[in-house]
Amino acid sequence: MNTSTFISKRIFSLSKENLSSTVMRIAVASVALGIAIMLISIAVVVGFKNQIKDKVVGFVAPIHIQALNQNESIEETPFLYDSVLNARLDKPFITAMHKTANKAGIIKTDEEIQAVVLKGVDADYNWDYINSYLVAGEVPQYIENERSNDVVISNIISHKMNLNVGDAVRIWFVDSDMKARGRKFDVKGIYETGLQECDERYVYCDLNQIRKLNGWNNGEIGHLEIWVDDESMLHDYNRQIYFSIPTELVSLTAMDSYPQIFDWLELQDMNVVIIISLMLLVAGITIISMLLIIILERTSTIGLLKAMGASNGLIRKIFLKRSCRILLIGMLIGNVIGIGLCLIQKYTGLISLSPESYYLSAVPIELNLWHIVALNIGTLILWVLMLLLPTMLINNVRPSKSIRFE
């Protein structure tokens, strides 16, 4: 054990009833509270962003291809999915491609009427996303070159139109010549994602039904959904796809389809920055005040150490070691509290949210080891640097003035 460590342990104590001990306890509590709040803030925001992002991407796919002359109308301009386009999309990062098409319609019952968008999917469509949010029934099994009447509706539409699994529903469509046509469908399943913008509109049906209603050929589609192996590279992948497809087509990302949601999610980062900055500042001021009080209370001890030949550097090291120990105790307590509360919320969903406002029914939590490590290391370094400022007062202590004999 070196000299600074030995002296630090002998002259400081959290158990003694004096001013510096009380201030040290307050500093420990302040550091613990700051770390806990920062950890919870990061876990909540990361979980919130990822869950909302996954929900949106699940509906529209990370990347989708459509006709370049597509307007703002729901009615789509079809394009042909053939072997030539398939060859151009032979990319190593593409994991799946789904042929889809949308068509506007109106569900009408004896009591209610509701505008919807039919999303047509084919026999190869991956239902994993909808299956994870299925609340009743099951997903349909479509067959190539056959038309199925089975549809999957949202829970919102189910309640609004008083429809249940197994019920027949008539959906009306308007032709280009403004004539209305009705088609009878059977409710096969009911889903609920929590995304109001999507749940209020989308009904899943057989792609062949859309082709029949629009008079398209078998190979024509409205969208081609593309799934990739790494969504962090989405913009680079989309650029490669864009320059690979024919000029009459365009590729768009999920962010292009729902920019308002993703812009809103980006704003959440600012909230975390503000919270972390405030916690660092408040806890930093507390530990600086703690060290100043300790130095002032130990002025005579500092003078005595200097009279015995101790250098300013050695004395500063004594006070810094004790302060760092207090920091580490507070950070350990804060990590236990913060991670513990996050785990409780993650596995119990104790704190709920309004799905209409936040798209989620409970506060989301996502703990990331690297985020925790980076936060602790960065915070410790910053607070230690802040502690260097009050230790400069030690240089001004004079033994002749600080030592008093009574």
The 10s digit of each residue's pLDDT in 132-166 is 899 999 999 998 888 899 999 999 999 888 889 98
For the residues 167-171, what does the mean pLDDT come to?
89
d(CA 207, CA 44): 38
pTM confidence score: 0.76
What is the tens place of the pLDDT at every residue in 75-133? Answer: 788 898 887 788 888 899 999 999 999 998 898 877 788 889 999 999 899 999 899 89
Give the helix ranges, DSSP H, for 206-311: 207-214, 234-242, 254-257, 259-297, 299-307
pLDDT score of 405:
44
State yes or no: pLDDT of 375 exceeds 50: yes
Give the lowest-confidence range in 12-16, 211-215, 227-231, 344-348.
12-16
CA distance to 120, 173, 356, per residue, from 158 (Å): 19, 19, 16
The pLDDT assigned to 207 comes to: 92
**Owner of token pair 């029914």:** 361
Task: Give me the pLDDT at residue 7, please.
Answer: 58
> Which residues have CB under 8 Å from 135's CB, separation 6+?
155, 190, 191, 192
pLDDT at 85: 84
pLDDT category at 24 given cuts 50, 70, 90 is: confident
Q: What single-letter amino acid sits at 97?
A: M
Residue 100 has a pLDDT of 92
Q: In this predicted structure, what is the pLDDT of residue 404? A: 57
Contact 366, 43 (CB under 8 A): yes
**How does pLDDT run across 279-331, given as a tens digit for each residue?**
888 888 888 887 777 777 767 776 777 677 667 777 777 778 778 888 888 89
Q: What is the mean pLDDT of residues 228-236?
A: 89
Q: What is the mean pLDDT of the chain?
A: 83
What CA–CA distance (Å, rounded) separates 404 from 382? 37
Min mean pLDDT across 50-54, 127-131, 332-336 is at 50-54
Least confident range of 14-28, 180-194, 245-259, 392-406: 392-406
Share of the chain above pLDDT 70, in %: 87
The domain locations on the chain are: 3-55+262-402, 69-246
